[in-house]
A and B are shown apart, each in its own frame.
Chain A
Amino acid sequence: MNWLTRLLGTRTDTASLDAALRDAIASWEALAAPELGSAHFETRYVVINTEATGLDLDKDRLLAVAAIAIDREHLSPQDSYYAPLEPDAATALTNLLTFAGKGPVVVFNASFNRSLLERALDEHLGLTPDWTWLDLHWLLPALYEEHIDGPARLADWMKAFGIETFQRHHALGDAWAIAQLMQAAQARARALGLNTPRSLADLEHSRRQLRRHG
């Protein structure tokens, strides 16, 4: 796939996918929306992370996706997902949808990850999930301003919490670190009375606004 085909918008029609994938997508679509007003300890958050050929949204393309669930505030190695897009991007992405369900999803730096992933989903599966996205890039400085009081790189936040991972710049390796940051974010949010996914979404929203106007 080159920049030209992308430009021409050769997006796949769901109808062209094989039956098993169509069924999986249909049952994903049939899932109920998550209850954003329930508490963290009742919520399954899904941390999603991507791996791309580079950091340029226009030129680079998605290589692999990874996801780790934080189910009721716990990280379980078993509850995780990783797949390269080659050779079968449609299957890799469909399985990601099945794993993530209806979210809420957590990313670090949505402007890149979310854009890249939404584009791939649209391209290969012809859909855009209506997930609630929570971006730690904004949430962490709002919750832990004693560590870093503005948007910072993942490496800085890992250092602030002493978090290590088994492989940096690998979709799953970084997801493992991001998931731990999300656990820390949940604990602090709870201490501040922000008990639900919705309250985190509101916090992120107001931060973005402040940043824009401040």
Chain B
Amino acid sequence: MPAAASEMLVGASSDFLTRFSPFNRMEPEALEFLAERATLAFHARGSEILTPEMGQPTHFHIVQRGKVQARQLGPASVTDYAAMTLGPGECFPIGALSAQRPSTNAYVAVKDSFVFQLPAEDFLKLMQMSPVFHVFCTQYIASLLNQSRQQLQSTFAQRAAEQQTMTTPLGQLVKKEAIFVTPDSSIRAALEKMSEMRIGCMVITDAERKPIGILTQSDLLPRVVLPGIDLQRPIGDVMTATPHVMSASDSAYDAALEMATHGVRHLLVVDSEGRLKGVVSERDLFTLQRIGLRQIRSSIEGADDIEALQRASRDIRQLALNLIAQGIGAEQLTQFISALNDALTCRIIDLARARHDLYGIEYAWLAFGSEGRHEQTLSSDQDNGIIYVCPEGADQAALKSRLLACAKEVNENLAACGFPLCKGNIMASNPELCLTLEEWKGRFGDWIREPDPQALLNATIFFDYRVLCGNERLGDQLRAWLNRTAKAYSNFLRLMASNALQVAPPLGRIRDFVVEDDGTIDLKKSGARLFVDVARILALRADVASSSTVQRLRQAGSRMGMPPEEIAALIDGFHFIQLLRLRAQHLDTEHDAPGDNCIDPDTLNELDRRILKEAFRQARKLQLRLKLDYQL
């Protein structure tokens, strides 16, 4: 009887499997399903079983005998493990199969090995039919997520190598021994050393090796050559004092961000005691240099007219798309977009200011809404305003009209650079939004004391302000006053909370997700906003100054005694939704296209769908907390 033979062999396979977890705990019918469908293959020592180049894996593998090594591709030093050895009973590639994307590891037989394999579709069926196996795979994936909490997306990013590079601590990027001189060394001696060592900058340190200055090649022309400085003079006379310093434990991302924010090409890396460890140059951050972050930054700073800034704006957009394609995390991505958009806006303001006489006026340019929260996506329109001080005895009307005229030009130029004018006229050129510190306090105070629906809506936009350029102190003063006042009016916070609970996470009881009529989920309305709204209330209650949702959750959460893992999980959930939003916009390049922010969950792969579900659960948890706090 043919049946008798296959029963015996299937029995032999399942006997083997039950010697290992999770198969020993698996439901009998699931185990049988697996044993019936698993075929055995031989892989000679040294042969590749699965590599990223093979594309989406077609089989799930379980080692029967022998040894298989999983090799992480890319720089070895940046992950917890460079190679991991799998023996009998161990299986791969769980993450890649669940996500239906190519494996990030190469699996190579390091001994002659027999390996069971199960077709990918049977692997997915097995996950459905066996809760035990499902939990096993989910936990495995969760442990992967844990390993790269900073890089939530790394499990589905295909180009893991590049992004991993950017998490490398700067201490590891510093290759060469630090070269430095003391400030009393002659300029000639320093230049000779630079030329001899072929380095682009010289660090000046004190006797304890703590950096106090830097002189770069590009400083030589304006500071040494053209003024015809005597080369015997001490280098301390021409160096740039208080150079940009970063800690050895900061990541390459941090360095790239710092370079982009301050427009510098070299950063000094110091150890925990502040002593010079080495220099990181832009060239060291090669992946980003290829993207051209620095070029965009310098083209913004060098721009003299709107045409040049329009080009820079297109470059920022292109950069963002490249970074998305590379699988960069949402947090870093929004920070980059935000840093570059800030630089662009500041340059536009500079150009406008040159044509408008604002001499002697103390003011700050405010960004509201998502820009205020550092959470701009590619389709945010402009939300801005001005806060200013009217000196005693000054003609306020004349002063304000000067500010408004300048603001109008800024608003128009921002629109020309791809930030659409705000349909609700939330713009600095609106006289209602160009106010003194006292007027802002009055406006905010009205909303807090009489929280009608419009006031509550306003609060969700304007309370997320931040100073983009100008006098930051004005923003700080307003923030301190706002937090104090909101806290005193508990009814206001309660109404804010009840407002924030109007929309529930789209989690279904039967199906995974509750979708709109067109089958999509609005990731802004029923995703990101759930986190943003609760974070705002927590920040007001816990007196957090930051306007960023992540910072608000982090700081308020820890002040309120939430366990760090819980906070981290909330933040991961929020980042994931933001990342999906950015990816959705990746395709719709028009501003405010109707499809923006909407995603059809059926188009997501299994892993993304599962993470999205988890993200919504985090939102529900956050809402539940609010509900309990305010007994709503």
Contacts and interface: CB of A to CB of B under 8 A. Distances in A.
Nearest to B42: A183
Contact of B5 (A81, A162, A163, A191): A81
B114 interface: yes
Given A77-B13, A77-B36, A78-B36, A166 B8 contact: yes
Interface residues of B, number: 27
Interface centre among A80, A180, A184, A191 (most CB of B within 10 A): A80
Contact of B1 (A76, A83, A180): A83
Interface stretch (A8-16, A52-60, A67-75, A129-137): A67-75
A176 B15 CA distance: 14
A48 interface: no
Contact of A165 (B11, B12, B42): B12
A186 interface: yes
A98 to B, nearest CB: 9
B58 to A, nearest CB: 13
A28 interface: no
A120 interface: no
B110 to A, nearest CB: 14
B39 interface: yes
Interface in A138-171: 161-163, 165-166
Contacts of A187: 42-44, 47, 112
Contact of A66 (B5, B44, B112, B117): B5
7 contacts: A75-B41, A77-B6, A77-B35, A78-B9, A172-B8, A183-B114, A187-B43
Given A82-B4, A186-B42, A77 B65 contact: no
A78 B38 CA distance: 9
A66 B12 CA distance: 15
A188 interface: yes
Interface string A104-147: 00000000000000000000000000000000000000000000
Contacts of A166: 8, 11-12, 15
A75 B10 CA distance: 11
By Cβ-Cβ distance, the 4 closest A-B pairs, closest first, are A77-B9, A82-B5, A183-B42, A166-B12
A23 to B, nearest CB: 18
Interface in B254-287: none
Contact of A180 (B6, B36, B42): B42
Interface in B212-241: none
A167 to B, nearest CB: 8
Interface string B12-41: 110100000000000000000001101111
Nearest to A181: B42
A180 B5 contact: no
A180 to B, nearest CB: 6
Contact of B65 (A75, A163, A176, A188): A163
A59 to B, nearest CB: 28
Contacts of B65: 162-163
A176 B114 contact: no
Contact of A184 (B1, B42, B47): B42
Given A75-B41, A82-B5, A163-B114, 11 more contacts: A68-B9, A73-B41, A77-B36, A78-B36, A80-B8, A82-B2, A83-B4, A162-B65, A172-B5, A180-B40, A187-B112
Given A166-B15, A184-B112, A75 B8 contact: no
A78 B6 contact: yes
Contacts of A173: 8
Contacts of B15: 166
B4 A76 contact: no
Q: Interface centre among B11, B40, B44, B47, by most A CB within 10 Å?
A: B40
A68 B13 CA distance: 14
A191 B13 CA distance: 28
